[in-house]
Chain A
Amino acid sequence: MRRIFAQVRKELTQLVRDRLALALALLLPAFLLLLMGTAISLTVDDMPLVVQDLDNTPASIKLVDAFRASLTFRVVPWPVQENPVRALAGNHVRGVLIIPVHFEQDLARHQGVQVQLLVDGTDANTAKLVAGYAQSVIAAYNVRIAARPQQGIQAIIRLWFNPGLDSKKFYGPGIFVLVLTLFPTLLAALSVAREGEEKTILQIYVSNISAHEYLLGKIFAIMVVFAMEAVLLTVLLFTYFGVSLVVDPTPLIVGSILYAFCVAAFGVMVGVAIPNQLGAISVVALGGFLLVFIMSGLLFPIENIPVQLRWICNFVWGRYYIEIVRDAFLQGAGWSATWWKTLVIAAIGSVFYANAWRSTRTMQLKY
């Protein structure tokens, strides 16, 4: 045990003395969380909407006002004689609303009036959102002009856990996990690979330290770094991203400790397998970053991944931690939803550790 602690202390001292590594460990995670948490969002507001009002009557102006009043659209007038499709050729306008002539007349005659909306489908997701928003603006307008009380079925929609539909609250915890996956793994892989590259590993081999003690010393040191990063990032989540704990934090704490072990073990495993810092970085970039970025449900729901590839997600360790973190900060189901996820993280971590141990247990150079 004493030997493990001695090694942890050595690792941390080494880290503090290396400016680059220290920046890598503390500043960059915070910077990345702020940047990506702010920049990544799929829901748009203040979209320019070109309106071509061919009717130009009080009724049509009222309809345009309904669009103007929404937070989603910013109305841009368009001359009557110009072809409205030309507005979409540039990159700023995503939709064109065309109000036909005789709009007011047809309304007054109680005939149905059709208003056309041209949407640029290049970005399919935004196109769907634009059409949906426009649909609800029109629906609200219809309710307002209808003299008779509305009848039929009315949907009362309640949004749980994130009633303001704030994207930051969704992506913040996700990026939190991404950052905590990337940097501790990178540091772990680099510190082990460096021993191999600079051959200081030989000094460890000739000492009386065992493979378990060597690996655990590295892993615990990285777990300390993970804890510091996690605290720093949690403060950011609470302040800048405006999320708060909605349930008792024990699943989050237990999950975080196990996850810290898991990513550190992955990094150590990579470092042991590839005693070359450059090679280790590219494996971490591929395994730690890309896999967790794409396959964990960070950006888009896992259900959207084609079935042939979806099974891979079950092995992505970040996926379970993302679900634990989102549960603690947003949904609040507690242990009943997360107990098995912590177990999976522990299991994946053990596999990584076992792998790393298998290739170091002889404590001898491989030829």
Chain B
Amino acid sequence: MFGFRFRALLFKEFRQMRHDRRIAFVAILAPFIQLCIFGFVLSANVTNLPLGILDESQTPESRELISALTQSQAFKLQGFYASPQALGRAITVGTLDAGVVIPFDYAHDLYRNQVAQVQFLLNGTNANTAEIAQGYASEIISVDNLRTLHVIGAGGPVQLLPAFLNNPGLVGSWFMVCGVLGMLMILNGSMICSTMMIKERSAGTIDQLLMSPATTSEIILAKIIPLFILLGTMTTVSIIAIRFIFGVPFHGGLGLVILGASLCVLSGIALGIFVATLAKNALQAQLAVFFLNPPLAALSGAFTPIEAMPKWLQPFTIPNPVANWAIIARGALIKGSPFDVLWQNFLWLFLFAMILLTFSVIRYRKQLA
């Protein structure tokens, strides 16, 4: 296998890659920038929601409630409104995301020990934001209840004490960067790999390669190794960025992450080779890669939790390499999960790469026809 023939092929591939300076840029710098943009820009946090207030009560009590609402980081006071119509209009147009209506008998009801109702209007268009804002609003009101009534347990006899494990600060970017790195490995791996494979064909040099005494698996392996080193460099740079720029903790074994990353890079390369053996020209290969990737990204849980997908879609995420990498990365880095929890994901990554590679080796010779 590692005879002279193979070494010569490998040498040729490395040389070819060295001549194409652009590829190093595309493969290393571009993913790094993308990772940073995704990590910093995509955030589902709910802060500074513009809040409008209609205060019909105009009493110290109502002002106290308003200050409690606006002190928090969740809401930002946008303005006071004179009528329900004006408030509703502002929400419809989009200047406000939330509105509060404090009725005229608010202070009155509080003193009579009756329930004082306050109406919250939330823009429900974005279901996630609305849901979190709803939680914030009830939380603030119940804290305010504790304060105004001076009764311990006014919120109720049973109290919930939530504790957030693994990520106590609830930093959103940790989740995102782990998933996005998987997407970048698959996207860039398949893109660069299919371009390099198809080049041989459009230049017509594939005939010479196939005529040489080298076997198909030798040809393909010689093509994979330089790519693997290139993409491995990209992944290493990204993992360093994840650690030092985004501050993701490394709780688990680094070995697991490296193993997972290599399998994921291999899957990306396998996908690229697979596409290249099916496509007729570079354009078709590019387009095919372009259309395979959005579904892989959408069904991966890289941006959104898998549990939020409809039940019948969830099985499609099981063989998806991006999804498996995301689980491995989050498990091994943030949670510190051991191998015996993650072995299935490793197995799926391995199977994905091997099946596509085997198919490509079989297909490669038939390309000539």
Contact surface of A with B, Cβ cutoff 8 Å = 20, 24, 28, 32, 35-36, 38-44, 46-47, 63, 85, 88-91, 94, 107, 110-129, 131-136, 138-139, 141-143, 145-146, 149-163, 165-167, 169-170, 277-278, 281-282, 285, 290, 294-295, 299-301, 303-306, 309, 323, 326-327, 330-333, 336-337
Judge whether B244 is part of the interface by a CB distance below 8 angstroms.
no
* C-alpha gap A301/B118 in the complex (Å): 27
Contact, CB under 8 Å: B149 / A116: no
Question: Can you list, as one digit per residue, whether each of B100-132 has a CB less than 8 Å from chain A (1) or not (0)?
Answer: 000000000010011111111111111111111
* C-alpha gap A337/B172 in the complex (Å): 32
Question: Can you list, as one digit per residue, whether each of B220-232 has a CB less than 8 Å from chain A (1) or not (0)?
Answer: 0000000000000
Judge whether B368 is part of the interface by a CB distance below 8 angstroms.
no
* C-alpha gap A36/B134 in the complex (Å): 26
Choice from B141, B160, B170, B303 contacting A138 with Cβ under 8 Å = B160
* C-alpha gap A327/B114 in the complex (Å): 40
Contact, CB under 8 Å: B113 / A151: yes
* C-alpha gap A85/B336 in the complex (Å): 12
Choice from A40, A117, A119, A132 contacting B304 with Cβ under 8 Å = A40
Residues of A within 8 A of B303 (CB): 40, 299
* C-alpha gap A139/B154 in the complex (Å): 11
Choice from A38, A110, A126, A163 contacting B309 with Cβ under 8 Å = A38
* C-alpha gap A170/B290 in the complex (Å): 25
* C-alpha gap A113/B152 in the complex (Å): 12
Chain B residue with minimal CB distance to A167?
Answer: B127
Chain A residue with minimal CB distance to B334?
Answer: A122
Contact, CB under 8 Å: B284 / A91: no
Contact, CB under 8 Å: B132 / A306: no
Residues B132-157 near A (CB distance < 8 A): 132, 134-135, 137-139, 141-142, 144-145, 148-149, 152-157
Judge whether B159 is part of the interface by a CB distance below 8 angstroms.
yes
Judge whether B335 is part of the interface by a CB distance below 8 angstroms.
yes
Choice from A139, A277, A290 contacting B156 with Cβ under 8 Å = A139
27 A/B residue pairs, CB under 8 Å, sorted by A: A32-B294, A35-B295, A38-B309, A39-B313, A42-B308, A89-B337, A94-B307, A115-B161, A121-B169, A122-B166, A122-B335, A124-B45, A132-B135, A138-B156, A139-B155, A153-B145, A154-B115, A156-B119, A159-B123, A160-B122, A162-B125, A166-B127, A167-B127, A167-B128, A170-B126, A281-B283, A305-B43
Contact surface of B with A, Cβ cutoff 8 Å = 34, 37-38, 40-48, 65, 91-94, 110, 113-132, 134-135, 137-139, 141-142, 144-145, 148-149, 152-172, 174-175, 195, 282-284, 286-287, 290-291, 294-295, 298-299, 303-305, 307-311, 313, 327, 330-331, 334-335, 337-338, 341
Choice from A20, A155, A160, A306 contacting B91 with Cβ under 8 Å = A160
Residues of A within 8 A of B139 (CB): 132, 135
Residues of A within 8 A of B154 (CB): 151-152
Contact, CB under 8 Å: A43 / B125: no
* C-alpha gap A246/B45 in the complex (Å): 29
Chain A residue with minimal CB distance to B91?
Answer: A160
Chain A residue with minimal CB distance to B294?
Answer: A32
Choice from A115, A125, A142, A294 contacting B175 with Cβ under 8 Å = A125
Q: A132-B132, A159-B124 are in contact. Are A333 and B94 (CB under 8 A)?
A: yes
Chain A residue with minimal CB distance to B89?
Answer: A333
Chain A residue with minimal CB distance to B122?
Answer: A159
Among B115, B132, B149, B156, chain A packs the most CB atoms within 10 A around the CB of: B156
Q: 14 new A-B pairs (CB below 8 Å) besides A42-B128, A123-B175?
A: A28-B291, A124-B172, A125-B305, A129-B131, A132-B134, A153-B110, A154-B116, A157-B134, A157-B138, A162-B124, A162-B127, A294-B38, A299-B42, A309-B41
